[in-house]
Amino acid sequence: MADSEALPSLAGDPVAVEALLRAVFGVVVDEAIQKGTSVSQKVCEWKEPEELKQLLDLELRSQGESQKQILERCRAVIRYSVKTGHPRFFNQLFSGLDPHALAGRIITESLNTSQYTYEIAPVFVLMEEEVLRKLRALVGWSSGGGIFCPGGSISNMYAVNLARYQRYPDCKQRGLRTLPPLALFTSKECHYSIQKGAAFLGLGTDSVRVVKADERGKMVPEDLERQIGMAEAEGAVPFLVSATSGTTVLGAFDPLEAIADVCQRHGLWLHVDAAWGGSVLLSQTHRHLLDGIQRADSVAWNPHKLLAAGLQCSALLLQDTSNLLKRCHGSQASYLFQQDKFYDVALDTGDKVVQCGRRVDCLKLWLMWKAQGDQGLERRIDQAFVLARYLVEEMKKREGFELVMEPEFVNVCFWFVPPSLRGKQESPDYHERLSKVAPVLKERMVKEGSMMIGYQPHGTRGNFFRVVVANSALTCADMDFLLNELERLGQDL
Amino acid sequence: MADSEALPSLAGDPVAVEALLRAVFGVVVDEAIQKGTSVSQKVCEWKEPEELKQLLDLELRSQGESQKQILERCRAVIRYSVKTGHPRFFNQLFSGLDPHALAGRIITESLNTSQYTYEIAPVFVLMEEEVLRKLRALVGWSSGGGIFCPGGSISNMYAVNLARYQRYPDCKQRGLRTLPPLALFTSKECHYSIQKGAAFLGLGTDSVRVVKADERGKMVPEDLERQIGMAEAEGAVPFLVSATSGTTVLGAFDPLEAIADVCQRHGLWLHVDAAWGGSVLLSQTHRHLLDGIQRADSVAWNPHKLLAAGLQCSALLLQDTSNLLKRCHGSQASYLFQQDKFYDVALDTGDKVVQCGRRVDCLKLWLMWKAQGDQGLERRIDQAFVLARYLVEEMKKREGFELVMEPEFVNVCFWFVPPSLRGKQESPDYHERLSKVAPVLKERMVKEGSMMIGYQPHGTRGNFFRVVVANSALTCADMDFLLNELERLGQDL
């Protein structure tokens, strides 16, 4: 075999390859893109797990399947998947479908390369540098470093690892055992990745000192100061503060100037987890929410969230110009980062990261940005704020909606108070009963497929809804629909 | 503004969205897929970084661009990118373009969801489970756990983190400071991610004890035994051995049975980094290379390499059935993993990982597998071995090729000995001069765009080429081309 011919697979038949891909792309356009973003269609088609398993016939078998069967499978996968690009998908910190970003993603997949060397990713090595430069400029830095990471959690971990390496370069080789106990600080509203990261990096979750947040969810700088003193008194060495710009549930922005003052006084690395809120830097109207971010040592910013670049697109930005990433993460693998290459090997980014192969995450953002310009992206951000405000004002006009607080971002948190509970705020089981409303409504909306909104308990508060106004295709009509639909779904409760 | 209309972007205009995407897809099919896999076209079009920057006009500006400009940009991105699907791309441990996997990737991108909950990824939560089950079955396990990670390096880190957590569950909370010094063992031929991971996880690179490899690159079990004794004598606690199935440069397979015996004797976690070699498990003819893998505690396997599923597709497989992943990595974020959901929340995979959002990496593999069946994939693996063997035998017939060793896998390592060095093996500067040949030839092939082959120094050996025979579209004619082309490029040296 194999004497002179490739296997009789599609790979050897350009016509069949093209036919397959055009057919699949047709299904994608019709089902995922057109229907998937149309308000006349469902946002999801709920099936119980056991039924869905049957419908999908997931088992991988010895024999391959025909082209026709494969196309049917593509249709089924799309049909039963949640349409996160749909205007009624309010469930997560991402929503919507940007066609240019999607175009960038399709090109990325067709080129299927790894971002580690200029040799095999010349376009993307240069492009990543330029996109990072642009993001840094929005933070307020004219120089610095950075890298795209597989999600905000890992961006946050990188920041913690860089901060400890900067203070104790020895730990790369010798580990944490020889160091004093370290302490890092973040508010109780921070993303859970800070805790996960502390465990993963060997620091342990005990090293995370939880700073108080005020009633709006913002870190209290005075308590940060107090916690630092306490940690020192216990013999720990504070090394990093992780502030949050745009908390997950409430959408709160920590007061960065005041926190930066504390960090400066104590010589601590300031990391800003702006995974969610970073995109607000594009808005002249709202960027004041992140005032002080230019004083950070590192910033995590996920354009896959509010900018809808597509999962994953998470930048870690650094003020550092001393090649800290490479010193902290490098291992100089000789088979990949040869020093006798015929081009400047400083272009090879692979030793800046703890991954080896690394996806290209810059093209989708770059292409969308080229198409929209700063101005187009700014309009999107501003519109999201306008629509969130519209939603809040409409809620105030209706009986059944109780805001958790006035939002300062595009997370709108509220209770839907069903008819049977209205006016019963004083009854002893009010909060318990109210807490049970959101799960019921969630089940109903998902099973009808009319919309998806997340809910959660939060501190002492029982379950409330969090609507995320992120989809750039949203209109006031969608906000009205959301309110009407909650009233309809909850009218018998 | 925004009173009742969406922004005047494409998002509000389904016809324009469809037109854009169809136009981009046309470019992708013509330029990236057809030309990108045709031997009549170049595998790369080399440009110096400064010139490429000019050609790409990377700067992101205030104003957006027209559709026509965007299409030109898409063409330029593809034109100057390396064609990793091209049959003459031998440079990396991945090559080729599987149309079904690409179809799966395009669907994945169009659905743009995160793998963390059944709620927003019902199809993919079930599909990931099934794909992992299939991979585990090939390892030889009828039960167990696992997860897709962003690349093999992170899969390896997960294994190390799980092993230390299993031994010292306290370290999640209390960190490494309270533990004795830990030691893990891997051969000098291991992937560099083991070192990087040890640093990142806070263990430090000193915790990695480097075990000898034999002349074929295989770990020497007797030296492993010796190193364990030495570590213990120094007061360290051995906890993990990372064996490699398919080393990066030589393609060597560590003797797993003998290593498993050592691990069993000492009660150590056996991790097998089969990122590269794991796919050989599909071949009845060659899977003996991994004999003993069923005795591992964890296996890392990257179907984005030899199976060409597309970057990234890396599975961490576990023999564990005690929900170790969730116990080790979980943080029970109440906003995402609500316990009062209307479905079985055990389906939510998000707390198994240290990421929050996580890409869908299963569909591309699943769809390709459905189309090919075990049988089709097995044929691919077998053909790669056959072609690697063909290449080796052809080399032996030619004067200018000196094998580093007989390969046991599809990495073919050799020196090209140019005319001026033939018969000069005894001259004192032979090795120094030979070492300079590969970089020169590499520059020439890349600048001509005729093919791409990686080279590296290795131990005491000077630069040699490593041809990776992974692309399923390869034929003997491509192997002949490779040899002829090296002779042509090196005839004046």
pLDDT the model gives residue A8: 45
Query: What sections of B398-475 are H helices per DSSP?
Result: 430-435, 437-448
B251 interfaces chain A, CB cutoff of 8 Å:
no
Which residue in A20, A227, A349, A357 sits closest to B150, CA to CA? A357
pLDDT > 50? residue A450: yes
B122 interfaces chain A, CB cutoff of 8 Å:
yes
In chain A, the residue whose alpha carbon lies closest to the alpha carbon of B149 is A150
Tokens of A310: 């597509």
**Longest distance between any two alpha carbons in chain B, whole Å:** 84
Q: Best interface-test mutation with B: which of A127, A356, A381 has the largest number of B CBs within 10 A?
A: A356
Contact state of A62 with B373 under an 8 Å Cβ cutoff: yes
Could you please report the per-residue DSSP string of A13-32? Answer: -HHHHHHHHHHHHHHIIIII
pLDDT the model gives residue A1: 38
pLDDT the model gives residue A5: 42
pLDDT digit string, tens, across residues A136-151: 999 999 999 999 999 9
CB A258, CB A283: distance < 8 Å: no
Interface of B with A in 389-418 (CB under 8 A): 390
Query: What sections of A3-112 are H helices per DSSP?
Result: 14-27, 49-56, 67-79, 99-111
Sort out which chain A residues have CB atoms less than 8 A from B153's CB and list them: 354-357
In chain A, the residue whose alpha carbon lies closest to the alpha carbon of B384 is A2
Interface of B with A in 462-491 (CB under 8 A): 463, 466, 472-477
Interface of B with A in 208-227 (CB under 8 A): none
pLDDT digit string, tens, across residues A228-284: 999 999 999 999 999 999 999 999 999 999 999 999 999 999 999 999 999 999 999
pLDDT the model gives residue B5: 42
Single-letter amino acid code for the residue at B235: G
Sort out which chain A residues have CB atoms less than 8 A from B2's CB and list them: 383, 386-387, 390, 475-476
Tokens of B491: 């005839």
Cα distance between residue B363 and residue B103, in whole Å:
9
| Domain A114-359 class, CATH top level | alpha beta
Band of pLDDT at residue A338, cut at 50, 70 and 90: confident
End-to-end CA distance of chain B: 70
pLDDT digit string, tens, across residues B147-163: 999 999 999 999 999 99
pLDDT the model gives residue A13: 84
Cis peptide bond prior to B312, omega within 30° of 0: yes
Map residue A258 onto helix, strand or coil. helix
Cis peptide bond prior to A312, omega within 30° of 0: yes
Sort out which chain B residues have CB atoms less than 8 A from A207's CB and list them: 175
Which residue in A216, A212, A272, A218 sits closest to A241, CA to CA? A272
Q: Tokens 């990776």 sit at which residue?
A: B468
Cα distance between residue B243 and residue A291, in whole Å:
50
- CA distances (Å), A395 to each of A90, A402, A474, A480, B440, in order? 16, 8, 17, 9, 70
The mean pLDDT value for A8-27 works out to: 85
Cα distance between residue B42 and residue A112, in whole Å:
16
How many residue pairs bridge chain A and chain B with CB atoms within 8 Å of each other? 545
**Looking at the partner chain, which of A62, A106, A476 has a beta carbon nearest the beta carbon of B109?**
A106
Determine the distance in angstroms separating the CA of A367 from the nearest CA of chain B, rounded to an integer. Answer: 7
* More confident: B12 or A493: A493
pLDDT the model gives residue A11: 59
B155 interfaces chain A, CB cutoff of 8 Å:
no
Q: Give Cα B187 distance to the centre of its chain.
A: 19
Sort out which chain A residues have CB atoms less than 8 A from B310's CB and list them: 109, 112
Contact state of B109 with A109 under an 8 Å Cβ cutoff: yes
CB B80, CB B52: distance < 8 Å: yes
Question: Residue B253 pairs with which residues in a beta bridge?
Answer: B245
Contact state of A383 with B7 under an 8 Å Cβ cutoff: yes
Pairing of strands B411-416, B461-468: antiparallel
Count of beta carbons in the 10 Å neighbourhood of residue A54: 11
- Helix or strand run (H / E) with residue A329: helix A324-329
Cα distance between residue A167 and residue A173, in whole Å:
14
Determine the distance in angstroms separating the CA of A260 from the nearest CA of chain B, rounded to an integer. Answer: 26
Which residue in A110, A117, A100 sits closest to A358, CA to CA? A117
> What rounded mean pLDDT belongs to chain A?
96
CB A311, CB B112: distance < 8 Å: yes
pLDDT the model gives residue A333: 80
pLDDT digit string, tens, across residues A172-190: 999 999 899 999 999 999 9
pLDDT the model gives residue B332: 81
Map residue A403 onto helix, strand or coil. strand
Give the residue ranges of chain B where pLDDT is below 70.
Answer: 1-12
**CATH code assigned to A371-490:** 3.90.1150.170
* More confident: B412 or A339: B412
Which residue in B254, B244, B317, B298 sits closest to B276, CA to CA? B244
Count of beta carbons in the 10 Å neighbourhood of residue B68: 9
pLDDT the model gives residue A258: 98
